[in-house]
Amino acid sequence: MSDWILLSKFLSELFYPANIALWLLLVAFLLLLFRRSMGAGITLFLALLVIVFGSSPIAKELSMRYRQQYPPMLIEKSPTADAIVLLAGERVELWVDEVMRLSHMLRIPISPQVEVGVGSKRVVHAMRLYEAGKGAIIIVSGGNTPYQDESYSEARYNAELLMDWGVPRDAILLEGKSRNTHENAVETVKILRERQLNQVLLVTSHYHMPRALAAFHAVGVSAIPSSSGFRPAELAQPRISDWIPSLNELGTLNRVIHEKLAILVYRSRGWIE
């Protein structure tokens, strides 16, 4: 199983536009060394084509449509559930940790400009749901993948952040065995059944939500999507500047491709419908 997880993560990277472009450039360089100018020219053209498409408004429009499958919801308008399930596959930068800690210590609200960056984090979103009374407990799910040689599981790391920010220890349950989204669902449902909990708010990034929600539904969990990772500007009417090609979109397209490939794999293994 561990080998399969590593293989699946490696194979997905082969299809990332940025990686494809790099491999094409390497091939073109080798062809030039062997004085195969025609082949080098064709390969360079293909690399340029991948970069131009991946950074184009067309790619941005495709990624925007994918991101808006599960749009964000205002915390106060979120439904209430038995528990909040936080999928802990995202690390929080030090500056986010310090901003949240100081905000809670001094009882100073976060400015809208700062919240754009801070609020995109899953752990922050889960904490805000808890503070609004949308769930009595937070189940933090996520172990380490086979290539992560760390004593702390991702779940424990995120749980300690939640406690640092004021969430009581007895309101947090840890699931630190899972190594992928399928195992997140399988291990979490055990906790839910043991505690006789039914409906949950599922917190993960908007890219990850379609696969995560399908995985939880497949094991019989009544999960309500509660996406993090959106910025207000992403939902606004596009501006002219939004249609200018940008290499940043290559990274965005990478995430969309990763999720699309992962969904195909999950369906082939019978983990989702």
The pLDDT value recorded for residue 30 is: 95
> Dihedrals φ, ψ of 70, to 5°?
-130, 80
The pLDDT value recorded for residue 123 is: 86
Across the chain, the runs of DSSP E, i.e. the strands, are 83-87, 138-141, 172-175, 199-205, 222-228
The pLDDT value recorded for residue 179 is: 87
Overall size of the chain counted in residues: 273
| Burial environment of residue 50 by CB neighbours within 10 A (0 to 12, 13 to 18, 19 or more) | buried
Helix (H, G, I), strand (E, B) or coil at 88: coil
Helix (H, G, I), strand (E, B) or coil at 173: strand
The pLDDT value recorded for residue 234 is: 47
* ∠ Cα 179 185 186 (to 5°): 85
Taken in order of first residue, the domains within the chain and their CATH numbers are 2-67+244-268 (no CATH), 75-228 (3.40.50)
Place of tokens 């495709």: 62
Rounded Cα–Cα distance for residues 44 and 37 (Å): 10
Helix (H, G, I), strand (E, B) or coil at 6: helix
Residue 90 one-letter amino acid: E
Across 134-234, the runs of DSSP E, i.e. the strands, are 138-141, 172-175, 199-205, 222-228
> Dihedrals φ, ψ of 172, to 5°?
-120, 130
pLDDT tens string, the chain, 273 residues long: the values are 555 565 566 667 778 888 899 999 999 999 999 989 999 999 999 999 998 888 877 777 777 777 778 887 888 889 999 999 999 876 655 545 555 555 555 454 444 443 434 445 888 889 889 999 999 999 999 987 655 555 678 888 888 888 888 899 999 999 999 989 999 999 999 999 999 999 999 999 888 999 999 999 999 999 999 998 655 444 445 566 556 667 777 777 888 888 888 898 899 989 998
Show the 3-state SS of 231-272: CHHHHCCCCHHHHCCCCHHHHHHHHHHHHHHHHHHHHHCCCC
